[in-house]
């Protein structure tokens, strides 16, 4: 009997965890559609306890249509004491997240910048999460940021690898040039040495020939008794 109770308790805990996960998943997929009047504001509020987590993202529901008409919105979030927690002006989308420091009614207000479609309102999609659902959404946003950062780092690593390969190829191509330069320098030094010895030998031969000519002419003139 004790084993059966333990098994039932175990499966009950698993079922509870699955149920909580499904509830959180359903909450993550929810979004609120709000129609902002052409003049005035549209506000959403919720009573949140202290140390509660709030996450919200908003965007104009029809981005293409809004872009065509150059429509933008502004958003402002205030605390129960009237402190400004978030303010974004002249945008088509935005998001905010924070941990509450006081219990009370938190208000988010939206309004249109200028006129839209001859005085008609504008629809926005608001994803408003509080508590566990907000923490799940923030974790997902952080994970997306981590993935994007990892992709950027991977791209940088690939580019650095390409540059390293190019530098190595240039270095390898310079090695034969350096070897040829050393060979040419050695050949030039040998050639200069040979030219120097040839010049010395030529000078020596010229001196010997000159001395021989002087000796021959002197002997010739002596035989002819010219000197």
| Same domain (yes/no): 96, 44 | yes
User: Is 193 a member of any domain?
Assistant: no
CA dihedral 200→203→209→210, nearest 10 degrees, is -140
Integer Cα distance of 143 and 149 in angstroms: 10
Answer for the pair 86, 120: CB distance below 8 angstroms, yes or no: no
Q: Among 78, 97, 130, identify where a domain stops.
A: 130
Q: How many domains does the chain have?
A: 2
Q: Is the pTM of this model over 0.75?
A: no
User: Is 100 a member of any domain?
Assistant: yes
C-alpha pair distances (Å), 151 with each of 140, 145, 146, 147, 162? 16, 10, 9, 6, 16
Per-run averaged pLDDT (10 residues), the chain, 227 residues: 35 45 44 83 90 88 54 90 90 88 92 69 86 74 60 76 82 87 91 91 92 87 76
CATH number for the domain that contains residue 54: 2.60.120.380
User: Is 158 a member of any domain?
Assistant: no
User: Is 211 a member of any domain?
Assistant: no
Q: Among 102, 130, 158, identify where a domain stops.
A: 130
Integer Cα distance of 141 and 137 in angstroms: 6
Q: 60 is in which domain, residue-wise?
A: 31-130
Residue 114 φ/ψ, nearest 5 degrees: 80, -155
Integer Cα distance of 174 and 169 in angstroms: 9
User: Is 172 a member of any domain?
Assistant: no
Pairing status of strand 93-99 against strand 84-91: unpaired
Query: What is the pLDDT, as a whole number, of residue 3?
Result: 32
Q: Among 130, 150, 168, identify where a domain stops.
A: 130
C-alpha pair distances (Å), 112 with each of 62, 102, 199? 14, 29, 97
How large is the C-alpha radius of gyration of the chain? Answer: 46
């Amino acid at each position: 009997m004790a084993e059966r109770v333990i098994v039932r308790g175990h499966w009950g805990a698993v079922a509870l965890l699955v149920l909580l996960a499904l509830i959180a998943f359903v909450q993550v997929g929810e979004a609120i559609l709000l129609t902002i009047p052409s003049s005035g504001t549209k506000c959403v509020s919720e009573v949140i306890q202290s140390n509660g987590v709030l996450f919200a993202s908003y965007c104009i529901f029809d981005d293409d249509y809004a872009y065509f008409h150059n429509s933008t919105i502004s958003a402002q979030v205030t605390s129960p004491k009237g402190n400004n927690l978030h303010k974004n002006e002249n945008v088509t989308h935005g998001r905010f997240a924070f941990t509450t420091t006081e219990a009370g009614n938190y208000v988010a207000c939206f309004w249109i910048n200028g006129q839209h479609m001859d005085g008609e309102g504008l629809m926005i999609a608001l994803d408003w999460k509080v508590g566990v659902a907000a923490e799940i959404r923030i974790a997902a946003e952080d994970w997306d940021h981590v993935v994007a950062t990892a992709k950027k780092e991977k791209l940088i690593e690939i580019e650095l690898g390409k540059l390293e390969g190019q530098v190595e190829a240039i270095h390898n191509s310079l090695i034969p040039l350096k070897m040829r330069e050393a060979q040419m320098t050695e050949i030039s030094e040998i050639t200069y040495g040979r030219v120097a010895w040839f010049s010395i030998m030529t000078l020596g031969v010229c001196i010997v020939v000159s001395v021989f000519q002087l000796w021959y002419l002197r002997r010739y003139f002596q035989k002819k008794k010219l000197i």
